[in-house]
Structure 1
Amino acid sequence: MTAELMIGTDLAAEMVAKAAERAAAVQEKYGVQPCLATVLVGDDPASATYVRMKQNRSKKAGIASRSVVLPAETTTEELVAEIRKLSEDPEVHGILLQHPVPAQIDERAAFEAIDPGKDVDGVTMLSFAAMAFGDPGFRSATPGGIMRLLAEYDVPLEGAHAVVIGRSPILGKPAGMLLLASNATVTYAHSRTRDLPELVRTADVVIAAVGKANFVRGDWLKPGAVVVDAGYNEGNVGDVHFEEAAEVARLITPVPGGVGPMTIALLLEQTVDAAEAQLG
């Protein structure tokens, strides 16, 4: 293996430790513990595991957790009503809707029920607009975590060609906006992109967020490229064929231990940001 690993674990631990210090300061000054509310619809095992992980990390950061678990048959209207209650609750500072939600729910309507001041996962249209226009606001947790990881490893983005594979509104699209704000030249690729391997070979930075195990192969990459695997599939497998890519890339994120810890760390950091803004 020739690539250096971009490990998110240590940086994420530093971020959580700093968030814990700030959370303690908020509690000392205002007598209020920052609180993150998680909303889970249904009983998908992977989603339930993610929520538990976020709640456990919250405790380590001195952030209170409130859990709302709704049955799988919940309607859009019922979910929106629950989220609006949390949005109006002054004891809740951040709201996370675990996604994906069951098929009968309008996910976008549910996201938009989150008070923008509590959108610590960066999923509302207002948060996306802030990222697109470079305004202050919450970053989508995974793209924001990716940017922090790239900065930690001194990846030069100005003038670089970045290819983002995937165009979801909470991962691919905001990742491209944040890269653009760093003066990268950004190309979005997706399921209808023609000659995808040839396009990826032109990239200095590749963000894989397609949701298919081992989708990006080593011979798709430009030698010396920086590869960020934002995928997570069954069996702890990312969207990039790691062994092949590591023989070509200069830097690469492992799965697990790369992007995942950064996502949670940024979520907690932004929860403390939200608490400070609401209290101060």
Structure 2
Amino acid sequence: MRLLRVGPDGHETPALLAADGTLRDLSAHIDDIAGAALAPGGLDRLRGIDPAALPALDSGARIGPCVGRVGKFICIGLNYADHAAESGMEVPKEPVIFMKATSAISGPNDPVELPPGAEKADWEVELGVVIGAPAREVAEADALSHVAGYCVVNDLSERAFQLERGGQWVKGKSADTFGPIGPWLVTADEVADPARLSMWLDLNGERMQDGSTETMVFGVAELVSYLSHFMSLQPGDIISTGTPPGVGLGQTPPRFLRAGDEMRLGIEGLGEQCQTVRAR
């Protein structure tokens, strides 16, 4: 299934993308793409619904973040060896974990706003993993059974805030609009192998990132298991799993986002995003 949320910011309707491309209203069955709806039983109930029996929604409606009421937005740093190299950092021996504020979450096509003082805003196309079943100290062999599905994430970063202002990376990752997710949550049963997905990002029509999840240092199952030993993972938590090379910081000379820029990005089978950058 391809699940999404459509409508005005803060008032999104849970929806399903039918095979014929129509948007179908799920609000009679669930209140949101969140919490218990993402648990295995909740997804099974949604699979039992005939999409043709659901009311159609306006195909031109705004698409919101594909998951509502996200509890934790967990990010993995330097998880592609070639991205670590372009960043001038060593490949980590264990996953590098940092958090992104959930207030950064926005719709996949909403504008990206540069916060006051931003100098080095950057892009990062990433595979998002959405938790479905609670996970605490799970074995790697069982980890994927705790995944509800996958989505596209643009893990936007303000590099000056992240790297030049001291402290942890979270301050450079958490500005409002710096976490577009979606357009869809594609349920795990429709993603044959999350370790073999092509991914890309264009800036103003120029291909900047062109990679694959095949080159991740730590795969999805390993990350879910690893994280679950440090914190419990709950339905609707999102893990953003790192980015391939081609970010602005790695260009020669470095290249950063400016008002008026357009980013278009996507992951194989998970849809595309498009954001225009503007100053706030």
Shorter-normalised TM range: under 0.3
If the length of structure 1 is used for normalisation, what is the TM-score? 0.26
> Structure 1 or 2: larger strand share?
2
- Structure showing greater radius of gyration is 1
> Structure 1 or 2: larger helix share?
1
